[in-house]
Amino acid sequence: MTVKNLFITAVFLAFGFAMQAQDIERLGNGFKVTDDGVTVEVTSLSPEIVRVFKYAAPERPQKYSPSVIMTPQDVKVKVTSRNGVVTLSNPVLKVSYDMSADQIVFSDKKNVILKERPDAYSAKSQTFVLDKDEAIYGLGQHQHGAFNQRGMNVFLQQVNMEIGIPVVHSVKGYAIFWDNCSSTWFRDNAEGMTFDSETGEFCDYYFIYGGDADGVVAGLRTLTGTSPMLPLWSFGFFQSRERYATQDQLVGVVKRYRDLNVPLDGIVQDWRYWGDDHHWWNAVEFLNPGFSDPVGMMKQVKDMNANAIISIWPSFGPNTNIYKEFADNNLLMAHETFPQDHGVKVYDPWNPAARDIYWKYIKKNMFDIGIAGWWLDATEPEHNPIKPEDYDYMTPEGSFRDVRNTFPIVSTGGVYDHQRADSDDKRVLILTRSAYLGQQRYGTHVWSGDIFADWQVLNDQIPAALNFSLGGIPYWNSDIGGFWTWREFPEGVKDPAFHKLYVRWMQFAVFTGMMRSHGSNTPREIFMFGDRGYWAFDAQEKFINLRYRLLPYLYSTSWKVTSENATLMRALFMEWPEDKKTWSIDDEYMFGESFLVAPVTSPEDVRDVYLPEGQWFDFWTGKAVNGGRTITRQTPVDEIPVYVKAGTVLPVGPTVQYALEKEWDDLLVRIYPGADGEFVLYEDAKDGYAYEDGGYTTIRMTWNERRRELTIHDRQGNFPEMLKDRVFRVILVGEGAGLGLDNESAGTEVRYTGSAIKVAL
């Protein structure tokens, strides 16, 4: 035994430790045990977050993790050893390691939360024992349609439509993050719940205890980073298709929306603006003759108060300037990628020099002419055909096999970091097809890939979104109408049956992070469905307008995502964990804390809706409904079931054609009575990062049910553009008042100058 270990042994004996044959060493916030050549480290990063690190190497191995950025807190930790069990105790958790069984047990002050299965560890796998009826969620985003992941076998690897994130979120109020960057099998069966990775020299995972689902999400973001604010305009409506063939076509779509007075904020340019020859694939330059004046194009879009985002892939044709620069610096990966047989190669984003080059071309040819956001497509990356030797390619952080699943976080992170370094005037906005834990740091919206236009596929998007959100990443969306239409709707927009699916999908999209129309095979613009007066046009217009009317609510909820680690699309059990019915409800959810949304995912114009305990208000009729039961709701094609919790204070914005058209100086404030409630209205400059230095305001509004009184509290904070004087029109919701898109119902009008005011209703 070394002198160091003799000293540590003496310390342990001095504190009453029963010595074992194994080496036990106290770490700063935990302990280390070495037995038979295997070392187990248990470290408390905070009272709620514990890391378990197991390895067989003689020296502690270096670990690559692009996810974990948390600096360990100064935690009061007690370590004891008794009868072969070493225990770490902190103010929240107790973590015990039984050396003879090779088993770790996690407990709170009263109960066991989770156990490892005894002797179920390898360098690349670990099995856990769950309670018989324990529901678990997460694992990223998958198209299998399952919400609760019990009994599932899921291969966690980034491919189109499948996002593999090794995070399990339990209804018991904890999460496991299996911190292995390679492709990983998740299995849950009679043997236990297992993470089994393709490669690994050590077992490394984090136990995050939140007590409830919001605490779990907060813990995941504490460990891996918070989500920045996105620009206000990005919560408006986006129009896209595969693809706009010329700049005149793209500009013409924006103009048509403006002429129709249908709101629009984003226009999206898909691929081939570089031309049709795949040897020039993804040049990150406008080489297509149809885009002869990109500067003029962007001026026209901006002059109509819209914003453009553009598709940029991580792969490049051999004739492009960016390919040649990557090749000259040995920064291209080995595998074949789409479009095949043209020499197209993917860049190595793990190399900082490659990230520099990638941004250099984006900045010069896109950012500097005013393009406002980045559609970083195929960030899995695309890989086909697959050759086993492809995975031998060495990145600076290990082989491609070792780091396979982290491509999206390092690629999007490089763009975010470079844009922030160049300018803080515009917030980074990234739309991308894949993700990994920690990617929420990088201003990303993630979408569900090239899915089919199909009723069942629409239904499956809901559990996919909820599982993704429960894994800690807050902003998710899908192509309105599904990407491919040829399977079920080969006539596309000419088929009235597709019109109905599209409208229902758009209604769902209102209540997701990004409302974005996109797809192949058929155009999707509202005017392609007919004229105003036709039901499919009118229903779309209604719900696009609804999105804009909800912007004050949505933007303030986004602030809670940033400032309080909140969740936008909320599984019902997040609010009602004691109601076991909510554990399996996979076709409705809360949008923020106030709206229960039950999308219509079949051709039928009726659906059942489960309302948890409490009082609810039908958003469209104002009718009060008691919860704790399932109701049947008729769903005409221009409505979906939306219910608002009693006690909700809801700011409703003005009718606008784009998000920044009008200030929020005249807001309707709807009160849904029946319980006390509150809302915090958040405002800032709507873009840029001044909010990080305190450049924002909040106005807290509280409803006292007994007194029937709304208090609008003192404004907190300031920023140069803030409204100093404004009107709130307060209305008590009921049948016939404060309904749907109504913004004209008479209410109590008050002028607010920043000082507290009470409004009796």
Nearest to 506 by CA among 238, 142, 234: 238
**β-strand 696-704 against 709-712: which pairing, if any?**
antiparallel
Nearest to 283 by CA among 381, 372, 341, 366: 366
Contact 84, 33 (CB under 8 A): no
Q: Are residues 508 and 381 in the same domain?
A: yes
The last residue of one of the domains, among 224, 254, 271, is 224
Provide the mean pLDDT of the chain: 95
Q: What is the pLDDT of residues 633-692, one digit of tens each?
A: 999 999 999 999 999 999 999 999 999 999 999 999 999 999 999 999 999 999 999 999
Cβ-based burial of 741 (10 A; exposed 0-12, middle 13-18, buried ≥19): middle
**Least confident stretch, 17-31, 330-344, 619-633:** 17-31
Q: Are residues 194 and 277 in the same domain?
A: no
Segment 209-231 shows an average pLDDT of 98
- Give SS3 for 128: strand
Question: Which positions are annotated as active-site residues?
Answer: 377, 380, 450
User: Per-residue pLDDT for 2 more than 80?
Assistant: no
- Give SS3 for 679: strand
Which tokens hold the place of 633?
Answer: 């709701």
Q: Are residues 149 and 261 in the same domain?
A: no
- For position 684, what pLDDT does the model report? 98
Q: What is the pLDDT of residues 489-534, one digit of tens each?
A: 999 999 999 999 999 999 999 999 999 999 999 999 999 999 999 9
- For position 230, what pLDDT does the model report? 98
Helix (H), strand (E) at residue 535: helix 535-549
Q: Round the CA-based radius of gyration of the chain to a whole number and report it.
A: 27
Q: Are residues 544 and 627 in the same domain?
A: no
Q: What is the pLDDT of residues 254-264, one digit of tens each?
A: 999 999 999 99
Query: Where residue 21 falls among pLDDT bands split at 50, 70, 90?
Result: very low
Q: Are residues 616 and 746 in the same domain?
A: no
Q: Are residues 666 and 603 in the same domain?
A: no
Between CA 321 and CA 328, with CA 325 as vertex, the angle to 5 degrees is 135
Q: Are residues 416 and 525 in the same domain?
A: yes
The last residue of one of the domains, among 197, 224, 251, is 224
- For position 57, what pLDDT does the model report? 81
Query: Where residue 23 falls among pLDDT bands split at 50, 70, 90?
Result: confident
User: What is the distance between the alpha carbons of residues 246 and 244, in angstroms, rounded to a whole number?
Assistant: 6
User: What is the distance between the alpha carbons of residues 446 and 28, in angstroms, rounded to a whole number?
Assistant: 38
CATH number at residue 145: 2.60.40.1760
Contact 713, 700 (CB under 8 A): yes
β-bridge mates for residue 238, sequence order: 266, 516
To the nearest whole percent, how much of the chain has pLDDT over 90?
Answer: 94
Look-up of token digits 């509280």: 702
- How many Cβ atoms sit within 10 Å of the Cβ of residue 517? 24
- For position 36, what pLDDT does the model report? 86
CATH number at residue 544: 3.20.20.80
Q: Are residues 294 and 410 in the same domain?
A: yes
Query: Where residue 745 falls among pLDDT bands split at 50, 70, 90?
Result: confident
User: What is the distance between the alpha carbons of residues 242 and 479, in angstroms, rounded to a whole number?
Assistant: 11
Q: Are residues 625 and 654 in the same domain?
A: no
- For position 741, what pLDDT does the model report? 93
Segment 241-268 shows an average pLDDT of 98
Q: Are residues 25 and 103 in the same domain?
A: yes
Contact 436, 405 (CB under 8 A): yes
How many domains does the chain contain in total?
4
Q: Are residues 723 and 625 in the same domain?
A: no
- Structural domain span for residue 69: 3-224
User: Per-residue pLDDT for 18 more than 60?
Assistant: no
pTM of the entire predicted model: 0.96
The last residue of one of the domains, among 224, 243, 272, is 224
Q: Are residues 172 and 277 in the same domain?
A: no
CATH number at residue 735: 2.60.40.1180
Segment 614-633 shows an average pLDDT of 98
User: What is the distance between the alpha carbons of residues 418 and 414, in angstroms, rounded to a whole number?
Assistant: 6
Cβ-based burial of 1 (10 A; exposed 0-12, middle 13-18, buried ≥19): exposed
User: What is the distance between the alpha carbons of residues 384 and 340, in angstroms, rounded to a whole number?
Assistant: 8
Cβ-based burial of 16 (10 A; exposed 0-12, middle 13-18, buried ≥19): exposed
Q: What is the pLDDT of residues 323-348, one digit of tens each?
A: 999 999 999 999 999 999 999 999 99
Give the amino acid at 716: Q
Nearest to 18 by CA among 77, 85, 104, 78: 85
Segment 8-17 shows an average pLDDT of 34
DSSP 8-state class, residue 22 = S
